[in-house]
């Protein structure tokens, strides 16, 4: 049994004494203990070495005592497993030397055997569960099929993912074939993660907001929903679409346990769009963590008041930034732990 099950109770919509809190990208680059590991090992070595991934996962828990841990990994381990080369270039970020641009490229993409290609992730989960010792739940994650497609086709990060969108709009058959292959791989991957011990999963649709509401339904949401349907009986699923407030109504009528929201939508509007029938997670602007700790605490309390303490998980509206002072991150977490309604 998990000793602190606040996060899991909030996902079920139960009444809680205070909302749970964790931060996207909490295992990472703002922590000096993470930077010490980063100086010794390159990015994908950290992802592929279970003892490193598990150590990085628990670092923020030791320091701040969040209510959930999220496994240190990357969304791009999926395309790597699917026979698509992915590098992490210093100063550039993700770099795919041979982007997917044609039907032939799509035909070369495989739906892999998860144990053979991503077994190291399952080992990292087992190692992390040992370190956590049932104190708090562990979250596993994957990128949404659309977000993965964005990198596979664009070949790197982008402000508008124009090549990815062009591919979808000019070669829709190839695009949907690729999206389905990514979806099938992601479902198999997340099911293995649950089997290995994660207590919940989150699907990150980081680039969903690049699409119009109509295109979002066609090229993103229908595939995320397949993942939710496939996983719903195995573990709670959180769907997080950055910039996708326009889809909250539709998303709230799914079998997701919670929806992540970013800072571009107010708690009031997010609750109205979802009819207050689903747990919401978010939505503090990560840059706001550069405000003085006193201001952060005040704003966090206000945010909880506006969302309401039940059916709510406190989080940022996107990943924590590398240059956030440690005391400011602490103020964010402490404000939630000290919350009294």
**Binding site members for substrate:** 25-29, 44, 74, 151, 206, 318
Dig out the tokens for 261 from the structure: 């929201």
268, burial (CB in 10 Å: exposed 0-12, middle 13-18, buried 19+)? exposed
Catalytic residue among 9, 38, 63, 301: 38
d(CA 163, CA 155): 9
142: left (phi > 0), else alpha (psi -120 to 50), else beta? beta
Catalytic residue among 9, 74, 101, 120: 74
Reply yes or no on whether 74 is catalytic: yes
Reply yes or no on whether 107 is catalytic: no
Chain mean position to CA 67: 16
Helix (H, G, I), strand (E, B) or coil at 25: coil
Q: Of 252, 152, 234, which is closest to residue 190 (Cα–Cα)? A: 234
Contact status, residue 74 vs residue 141, Cβ threshold 8 Å: no
Reply yes or no on whether 151 is catalytic: yes
Catalytic residue among 9, 29, 63, 301: 29
Contact status, residue 63 vs residue 324, Cβ threshold 8 Å: no
d(CA 274, CA 285): 21
Catalytic residue among 9, 25, 63, 101: 25
d(CA 336, CA 291): 17
Q: Give the residue ranges of the annotated binding site.
A: 25-29, 44, 74, 151, 206, 318
Catalytic residue among 64, 151, 223, 312: 151
Q: Which residues lie below 8 Å from residue 17, measured CB to CB, with a gap of 6+? A: none
**Which positions are annotated as active-site residues?**
25, 29, 38, 74, 151
């Amino acid at each position: 049994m998990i000793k602190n099950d606040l996060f899991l109770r909030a996902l079920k919509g139960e009444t809680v004494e205070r909302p749970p809190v964790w931060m996207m990208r909490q295992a990472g680059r703002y922590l000096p203990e993470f930077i010490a590991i980063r100086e010794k090992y390159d990015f994908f070595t950290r992802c592929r070495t279970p003892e490193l991934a598990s150590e990085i996962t628990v670092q923020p828990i030791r320091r701040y005592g969040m209510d959930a841990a999220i496994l240190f990994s990357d969304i791009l381990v999926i395309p790597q497993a699917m026979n698509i080369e992915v590098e992490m270039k210093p100063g550039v970020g993700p770099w795919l030397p041979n982007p997917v641009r044609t039907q032939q490229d799509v035909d070369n993409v495989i739906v892999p055997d998860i144990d053979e290609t991503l077994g190291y992730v399952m080992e990292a989960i087992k190692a992390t569960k040992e370190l956590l010792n049932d104190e708090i739940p562990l979250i596993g994650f994957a990128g949404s099929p659309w977000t993965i497609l964005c990198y596979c086709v664009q070949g790197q990060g982008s402000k508008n993912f124009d090549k990815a969108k062009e591919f979808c709009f000019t070669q829709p058959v190839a695009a949907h074939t690729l999206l389905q292959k990514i979806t099938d791989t992601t479902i198999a991957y997340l099911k293995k993660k649950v089997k290995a011990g994660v207590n919940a999963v989150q699907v990150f649709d980081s680039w969903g907001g690049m699409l119009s509401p109509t295109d979002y339904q066609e090229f993103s949401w229908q595939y995320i929903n397949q993942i939710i349907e496939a996983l719903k009986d195995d573990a709670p699923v959180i769907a997080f679409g950055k910039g996708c407030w326009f889809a909250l109504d539709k998303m709230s009528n799914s079998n997701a346990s919670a929806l992540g929201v970013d800072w571009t939508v107010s708690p009031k509007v997010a609750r109205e769009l979802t009819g207050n029938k689903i747990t919401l997670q978010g939505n503090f602007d990560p840059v706001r963590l550069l405000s003085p700790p006193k201001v952060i605490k005040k704003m966090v309390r206000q945010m909880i008041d506006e969302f309401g303490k039940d059916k709510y998980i406190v989080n940022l509206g996107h990943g924590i930034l590398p240059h956030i002072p440690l005391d400011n991150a602490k103020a964010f977490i402490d404000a939630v732990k000290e919350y009294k309604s």
